[in-house]
Copies of this chain bind each other. A is one copy, B any other.
Amino acid sequence: MPSPQGVHRLVQKLESITDLTEAERQGLLSLPLRVQEVRADQDITREGDRPTQSFLLLEGFICRYKLTQVGKRQIFAFHTPGDIPDLLTLHLKTLDHNVGTVTACTVGFIQHEHLHELLRQQPRLMDVFWRDTLVDGAIFREWMLGIGRRSARTRIAHLFCEMTTRLRAVDLVDGNRVPLPITQAELGDALGLSTVHVNRSVQELRGDNLIEWQGGVLTVLDWESLKAAGEFDPTYLHLSGSHTVP
């Protein structure tokens, strides 16, 4: 009993970066999913695991992260409904990082064999998924640029812009209200900052009337200024056309 609404977000997400034929859409929609609820702050897959399935995120927020030897955490990516955060295990048998929930989530597990079968029937979907992993890499690079070379304020503004843009592409943004149910500590782990400094920088953005952020909802008050503050240029998201402009 796959959640049609959830799977539809996958189609929507892929169509935000490419075009799909009706047969390809159908193939995706008929993937057999084992739907499961997962509580917040749970690991779904861990470094070193060798999964035989991937999962489609249907509801909630997921992050991918790794820990240093002294236990510091770096979050590499936030994933939103429609994403397949561990698609890479299809080709990289041993996972090299952790995948865990940020909020309570609904996920749909897909056996790798079913994905392989779909890709055999619809070979062009392989290009589509490959392209998706390339966009994934592009997002990593942009985060790297921020962590390595931008100030805390700029990094945070940039991430706000990115999440706004990505969530808009899967129709999860309501006007200027963007779901962003992460803590300041998680934001720090994503941007290489301490919680304290995240807090002060967010207050700066609030003080400048660029955003509000409370109750897991980010409200963008001044998109142009926020883009400027974050040096945000959405090219790296490789969205096709209509999704780049709010």
The residues of A with any CB-CB pair to B shorter than 8 Å are: 47-48, 64, 66, 68-69, 72-74, 76, 88, 91-92, 94, 96-97, 123, 126-127, 129-131, 133-138, 140-145, 147-150, 191-192, 231, 235-236, 238
Name the distance in Å between A73's Cβ and chain B's nearest Cβ. 7
Contact A192 B147 (CB under 8 A): yes
How many Å from the CB of A149 to the closest CB on chain B? 4
Q: How far apart sit A236 and B92, CA to CA, in the bound complex (Å)?
A: 10
Q: Which residues of B contact A47 (CB under 8 A)?
A: 235
Measured between alpha carbons, how far is A141 from B236 in the docked complex, in Å? 17
Q: How many copies does the complex hold?
A: 2
Beyond A96-B236, A148-B191, A149-B192: 10 further Cβ-contacts under 8 Å?
Answer: A47-B235, A68-B150, A91-B127, A92-B138, A94-B235, A96-B141, A96-B142, A129-B130, A137-B137, A144-B147
Q: Which residue of B lies closest to A127 (CB)?
A: B91
Checking B72, B126, B134, B144 against A144 with a beta-carbon cut-off of 8 angstroms, the contacting residue is B144
How far is A137 from B133 in the complex, measured between Cα atoms in Å?
8
Is B148's CB under 8 angstroms from A192's CB? Answer: yes
Inter-subunit contact A92/B238 (CB<8 Å)? yes
- The chain B residue sitting closest to A141, CB to CB, is B76
Asked whether, in the complex, the Cβ of A94 is within 8 Å of the Cβ of B140, the reply is no
Residue of B whose beta carbon sits closest to that of A87: B134
- B235-A66 in contact (CB<8A): no
Taken together as a complex, chains A and B put the C-alpha atoms of A74 and B146 apart, in Å, by 9
A76 to B145, CA, bound (A): 8
- Given A96-B238, A148-B191, A137-B135 contact (CB < 8 Å): no
25 A-B residue pairs with Cβ-Cβ distance under 8 Å, sorted by A, are A64-B141, A66-B142, A68-B150, A73-B149, A74-B144, A74-B148, A76-B141, A76-B145, A88-B134, A88-B137, A91-B127, A92-B131, A92-B138, A94-B238, A96-B141, A96-B235, A96-B236, A97-B141, A97-B236, A126-B126, A126-B130, A130-B133, A133-B137, A140-B144, A143-B144
- Closest CB of chain B to A69's CB: distance in Å? 5
| 5 A-B pairs with least C-beta separation | A148-B192, A72-B149, A140-B140, A96-B236, A74-B145
CB distance from A102 to the nearest CB of B (A): 17
- A68 to B72, alpha carbons, bound, how many Å? 26
Q: Which of B123, B127, B231 contacts A68 (CB 8 A)?
A: B231
